[in-house]
Structure formats: C-alpha cells, structure tokens
Amino acid sequence: MAIDRSRRVRPQDGLVIHRLADLAPRTYGGTPPRLNVEDNAFLMAHEARTEIDAIAAFAQVASRSYVTAASLRAALERYPSLRRRPLIAGMIDDLEAGTHSVLEHGYLTKVERPHGLPVGMRQAPRTGPSGNQFRDVEYAAYGLVVELDGALGHESWRDRARDADRDLDDLARLGSVTARLRWHQVFDTPCRTADRVGRILERNGWTDEMSPCGVGCVATRR
C-alpha cells in the first residue's frame, strides 16, 4: 500500500506500507485512489535486485493496451533518481520506435565483447521474398545469424525465455544457422549465452580463444 510520506498509519498484519513523496500525481480516481500502473512499474523496477527483474517489471505494464510510450515517458519524468533509468528510458524509446536497440546493445556489451567472441556485422542487409531485410547480428564467416527479440509481452515472458534456452541448446549441439535470443539470454544469463554462441561458432570454424569475463564465468574454450 502506498501512502503520502507526510501521513502516519499504524502497522497492520498483511500490509506493507510504501511512503512516497508527492503521491497525488501518481494516482488515479477511486476510493481509495490507486497508484498508476506506470508508476507502480517504475517503483518495482527501482527496487529490483537485477536488471532482468527491472525489465520484467517494465514488461508487465508495457504490454497492456492502454499503456503507451507517451504515458510511460510522462511517468518517468516523476522519477529523476530511478535506478537503471537509462535502461528504462531506452526501452521506452524502443517501444515507441518498434526497435530493439537496448537488447542489441546489451548483446554487444554483455555477451559478445566481454567474452572475446568475434565481432559480428550489425544490421546486415539481405534480400528476402518480402523485400530488403536486416539481420541483427551476422557472423558471416561462420554461418551464424543472431536475431534479437525484444518483445515485451509479459504473459509469455518466462515461457518464451525457456523456449529460447532450449533453442539455443539445440543450436549449440547441432550447429544450425540462426540463434534467436531474448531479454533473459542477454541480461540474465550472458555468460551462459556467450558459451553456447561460442560453441556454435566453433562448430562452424572459429578457432580463436573465448575469454571468461570474470571469476565464475562459464564461457570457456573446450
């Protein structure tokens, strides 16, 4: 339960009280008034322990039909000190533009670069049946394309992450040509993802050394 910071209430079993400054602009009508879903998402993202939990909190509201990039951006203005604010702001920009730039940047800085994977070609063009298309990341010399799916539908969030994990396991075992990655693989398990992408590249001829990003990193050359 959210209350204005100036108010005082007695503790009650089953209630967790959150005191917020300037509560009124963050609520909408009713008795008692309710916290806007956008504000609630940002507060949850602020308290999230990990980046993937913050992304999940954002996804929970971004997929609702009545939530728009404009309403999210307006709410974000009320949180100048939000933790991971650049990440959330970038996701709002992506939502409005229909792009996956935050996820693409995450793949570069969390998966590819810190683990010594070869440098892929970004937005590699190709001509398909429906016209010109662009591959998110292509390792042309090793016959591998990485496609990044930044869709934010919350109801299928965990199921799709598990499906992508299974797909990536199969790719690492079979050496197929297209790996489809989602938020979970990039922000939650980047080392594991780098290890499996590296195995696919190895099967297709890559011979350089993979570099663990730190202590406990699972991305190693076999």
Rg, Å, the chain Cα set:
21
What are 64-104's pLDDT values in tens digits? 888 999 999 999 999 999 999 999 999 999 988 888 889 99
- DSSP secondary structure code for residue 120 in this structure: P
Band (pLDDT 50/70/90 cuts) for residue 154 is very low
What are 171-208's pLDDT values in tens digits? 666 555 788 898 999 999 999 999 999 999 998 999 99
CB 74 within 8 A of CB 172: no
Average pLDDT over residues 121-149: 79
Domain range summary for the chain, segments of one domain joined by +: 2-97, 101-203
What are 155-167's pLDDT values in tens digits? 555 556 665 666 6
Long-range CB pairs of 100-104, under 8 A, 24+ apart, other chains included: 100/136, 100/148, 100/149, 100/150, 102/150, 103/148, 103/149, 103/150, 103/181, 103/182, 103/183, 103/186, 104/136, 104/137, 104/148
More confident site: 134 or 221: 134
The torsion angle over the Cα atoms of residues 104, 110, 116 and 122, rounded to 10 degrees, is: 10
Global confidence as pTM: 0.76
Which H or E run includes 183? helix 183-183
